[in-house]
Chain A
Amino acid sequence: MTTDATAKASLDATPARRRHRRVPPEANIFLVLIAIALIYEVLGWIFVGQSFLFNQQRLTIMILQVSVIGIISVGVTQVIITGGIDLSSGSVVGMTAMFAASLAQASTWPRALYPGLTDMPFVVPIAVGVLAGLLAGFINGQLIARTKIPPFIATLGMMVTARGISKWYTKGQPVSGLSDSFTFIGTGIWPVVVFLVVAVIFHIALRYTRYGKFTYAIGANVQAARVSGINVEAHLIKVYAIAGMLAGLAGVVTAARAQTAQSGMGVMYELDAIAAAVIGGTSLAGGAGRITGTVIGTVILGVMTSGFTFLRVDAYYQEIVKGIIIVAAVVTDVYRQKKRAKV
């Protein structure tokens, strides 16, 4: 009775018992980012004799390099929040880059894949690329929701299949001679703009829409979500389709940026995208994760790579260290969950 009274009193004392803002979980990751940058800054002055941070050109290149990963990662984050995984995004990038590029060739190019379909308005290749990605994601979602096979297997199948399609499409030949109106979205700062717009849209979607609430609910407890009336299957299909669509968009941007498309584009991107999400605090157990964290995670990956290049560290070491960082991020996640379970 007394505890009841005190509890009530404390409630009444705080008039607005709204969701008070705690320190956002991204704060820690952001500090990690700052720390890494500062370490490079110091090492830069010691070993290279110049500043790491105060070099706009380097930072621009760095962010450009990771924006494609970032676009994919926004989709992958949502998939992981539902408790799933998407291994197909890298291959979907390759496939959609090929599709988009084949419809973006200029008539001045002598070996166009479809000579009758050159000089198309730039929306056509973009739409085709994005829709092809959407379709691939939709198939992933259908497989997972209808046949109940694990997302790992379904998207592994799509990973191999999509890569196969991108090779078959031109029998391994690259697609070049893309029109300027198409390659425009790969130039300058545009890829970064696309990344940030996508990030903002899905940040809002996850936090303020029913779509977002249901995504977290499914990841937190799929049975409870189902009993609460959520059509889990339909929702999962949506989430995977969105992830596929974003991979398609990333494919379009990749082709535009390279001004060509090759069947080998996007290899291992899925792992970088997953890494960015996990480093950004998305839990592989599902139910937790935010786009802001993923954006920071993406930038951390970029800074790591850029910093190594800046310090002229061998490319081999870069991959070794990247691997260690990814494992460390997952270990931290597991540790956090254990600690929570004890409370």
Chain B
Amino acid sequence: MVVSPSTMAAVRKSGAIPNAEFLLTAEDVRKEFPGVVALDNVSFRLKRGTVHALMGENGAGKSTLMKVLAGIYTPDKGVVRLKGTEIRLKSPLDALENGIAMIHQELNLMSLMTVAENIWIRREPLTRFGFVDHGEMERRTEELFQRLNIQIDPEAKVGDLSVANRQMVEIAKAVSYESDVLIMDEPTSALTEREVEHLFQIIRDLRSQGIGIVYITHKMNELFEIADEFSVFRDGKYIGTHASTDVTRDDIIRMMVGREITQMFPKEEVPIGEVRLSVKNLNLKGVFRDVSFEVRAGEILGVAGLVGSGRSNVAETLFGVTPATSGTIEIDGKPVSIDSPTTAIRNRMAFLTEDRKDTGCLLILDVLENMQIAVLQDKFVKRGFVEEGALSEVCEDMCRKLRIKTPSLSERVENLSGGNQQKVLIGRWMLTNPRILILDEPTRGIDVGAKAEIHRLVCEMARTGVAVIMISSEMPEVLGMSDRIMVMHEGRVTGFLDRAEATQIKVMDLASR
């Protein structure tokens, strides 16, 4: 029987729902995005009055599952049951009215409105004349805060609150909907230790009131401290559910990374030369600290770490997008000061950014215009005029060399596939003849064939003596392509692994320190 959400909400109000063992279950849920299976027939069960952690690497599928449960995504296949009754959520609001509330990582509050206004939005108590009854609204807010043991002024503007307090307001808002299920996405990522303790206290209180909490985290110690159960996901698949008292940290890591690497990489042994880039005690205030490493000519340094570990920030700082607050960068043993991408390019660096659409492609312009833009800084220009003939010839050669599938150089880049867009961007940087190449997620969201070609290109660049830094969330890619792997966690370098000694377990161990 499928109950439409609105009926479900009505039934819920009447209190006639039986006390099913599981608050929320998902069975064989499947969700595909173009080119990716984000959830591959995944199952999940949340017991009443428990904290259930979702664990997994980046892209394992935990965020997608959470969004399915919260009504943000509609699953392609599968059944979601709330207290044993099948539901089909149409929107986050729908989910909220059914008692499933989500607390996002990026908090969704209106910062110019007061705490009370934020909590009771759309449900404001009214006076006889139809005006908002602010007194009543604040009284209700205080009542709610007392129940949760939160000390926040209901009349304060949300924008003036600390991140921790804003999170408390979000939780209070969720509770005010009499939610049975609370979904929290890395709630501690911006909190201090004391704030985390307060949050955990609130979570324990809510748990004792019978609320079920889905808790997503990258932090292993939190799992043991707060979670009763945990489920592990890997590459969109459900791996297993266990009680957190039954396992050790090593067991979990093994579950998270226990895939067999069957993929082949075109990695070849090339002679490794002198130190090309040397970074010492690089700091960016509030983002990462004391990052030191070296990359040699011909070497591929893989950079691993979970989302938020500061990998991309280090790359951006190296390239001058966000100049460092302290630390030194040396190229060929000479200290350089890189304060903008322009100076980075002058030092023969190249940077393939993480987000192809946001910071890479000039989508509405054509292939030639996309490819030429970096090299025009100092080549193919005579007295301000672009040497169109020579330039389009080398771009054409580049298209052929990179096997870019495009009808012509004047095709708009937005009409190309993701893999070909990425190759155009690689072409943009190859034209500048870089000596240091920084790649941030070079193969994200592109098909297998294009992936292999990009791997081949990167190896070729290394063979010609380019020093390569490759950031990747894909464990097989990092292990298969790197000569050395640097692992980061929460803005710090937690270790280096040589190609010979690196395993998935060792990388994950360092990444979750």
* B372 surroundings in chain A (CB, below 8 A): 213
A7 touches B359 (CB 8 A): no
Tell me which of A11, A22, A211, A287 contacts B410 (CB under 8 A). A22
Indicate whether B373 reaches chain A with its CB closer than 8 angstroms. yes
* A213 surroundings in chain B (CB, below 8 A): 369, 372-373, 376, 386
CB-based nearest A residue for B367: A19
Stretch touching chain B among A37-45, A223-231, A290-298: A223-231
Which residue, of B353, B358, B405, B415, has the highest number of chain A Cβ atoms within 10 A?
B405
CA separation between A41 and B149, bound complex, in Å? 80
B366 touches A19 (CB 8 A): yes
* A314 surroundings in chain B (CB, below 8 A): none
- Indicate whether A4 sits within 8 Å of B409 (C-beta atoms), given known contacts A210-B386, A287-B362: no
Stretch touching chain B among A71-79, A112-120, A175-183, A214-222: A214-222
* B396 surroundings in chain A (CB, below 8 A): 17-18
> Which residues from 365 to 387 on chain B have a C-beta closer than 8 Å to any C-beta of chain A?
365-366, 368-369, 372-374, 376-377, 381, 384-386
Indicate whether B142 reaches chain A with its CB closer than 8 angstroms. no
> Which residues from 93 to 116 on chain A have a C-beta closer than 8 Å to any C-beta of chain B?
none
B373 touches A11 (CB 8 A): no
- Indicate whether A228 sits within 8 Å of B374 (C-beta atoms), given known contacts A213-B386, A216-B365, A223-B358: yes
B386 touches A208 (CB 8 A): yes
Task: Give the interface residue-count category, chain A.
Answer: 35 or more
A211 touches B321 (CB 8 A): no
Indicate whether B330 reaches chain A with its CB closer than 8 angstroms. no
A210 touches B366 (CB 8 A): no
Mark contacts of A277-300 with chain B using CB atoms, 8 A cut-off: 1 yes-contact digit, 0 otherwise.
Answer: 000000000011000000000000
Question: What's the nearest-Cβ distance from chain B to residue A115, in Å?
Answer: 44
Indicate whether A340 reaches chain B with its CB closer than 8 angstroms. yes
> Which residues from 260 to 275 on chain A have a C-beta closer than 8 Å to any C-beta of chain B?
none
CB-based nearest B residue for A208: B385
A-B contact count (CB 8 A): 107
B388 touches A17 (CB 8 A): no
> Which residues from 382 to 410 on chain B have a C-beta closer than 8 Å to any C-beta of chain A?
384-386, 388, 392, 396, 399-400, 403, 405, 407-410
A226 touches B321 (CB 8 A): yes
CA separation between A228 and B321, bound complex, in Å? 10
Indicate whether B342 reaches chain A with its CB closer than 8 angstroms. yes
Which residue, of A211, A213, A226, has the highest number of chain B Cβ atoms within 10 A?
A213
A226 touches B388 (CB 8 A): no
B364 touches A287 (CB 8 A): yes
Indicate whether B8 reaches chain A with its CB closer than 8 angstroms. no
* A288 surroundings in chain B (CB, below 8 A): 364
Question: What's the nearest-Cβ distance from chain A to residue B405, in Å?
Answer: 4
B410 touches A4 (CB 8 A): no
Indicate whether A146 reaches chain B with its CB closer than 8 angstroms. no
Which residue, of A18, A20, A231, A288, has the highest number of chain B Cβ atoms within 10 A?
A18
Tell me which of B358, B366, B373, B403 contacts A225 (CB under 8 A). B373
Indicate whether B238 reaches chain A with its CB closer than 8 angstroms. no
CA separation between A216 and B366, bound complex, in Å? 11
CA separation between A18 and B364, bound complex, in Å? 19
CA separation between A260 and B55, bound complex, in Å? 77
* B405 surroundings in chain A (CB, below 8 A): 3-4, 7
CA separation between A214 and B408, bound complex, in Å? 21
> Which residues from 408 to 440 on chain B have a C-beta closer than 8 Å to any C-beta of chain A?
408-410, 414-415, 428
A18 touches B392 (CB 8 A): yes
List 9 additional contacts besides A19-B366, A210-B385, A220-B364; criterion CB under 8 Å: A4-B405, A19-B409, A208-B386, A210-B376, A210-B381, A213-B373, A217-B369, A229-B341, A340-B414
Q: Give the interface of B toward A (CB within 8 A).
A: 319, 321, 340-342, 344-345, 351, 353, 358-366, 368-369, 372-374, 376-377, 381, 384-386, 388, 392, 396, 399-400, 403, 405, 407-410, 414-415, 428, 449
Closest 6 CB pairs of A and B: A220-B362, A19-B410, A229-B345, A223-B359, A228-B374, A7-B405
Q: Would you give 14 A-B contacts (Cβ < 8 Å), ordered by A?
A: A4-B403, A17-B396, A18-B396, A19-B368, A19-B392, A19-B409, A214-B376, A217-B369, A223-B358, A224-B358, A227-B359, A227-B360, A231-B342, A343-B414
Q: Give the interface of A toward B (CB within 8 A).
A: 3-4, 7-8, 10-11, 14, 17-20, 22, 208-211, 213-214, 216-217, 220-221, 223-231, 287-288, 340, 343
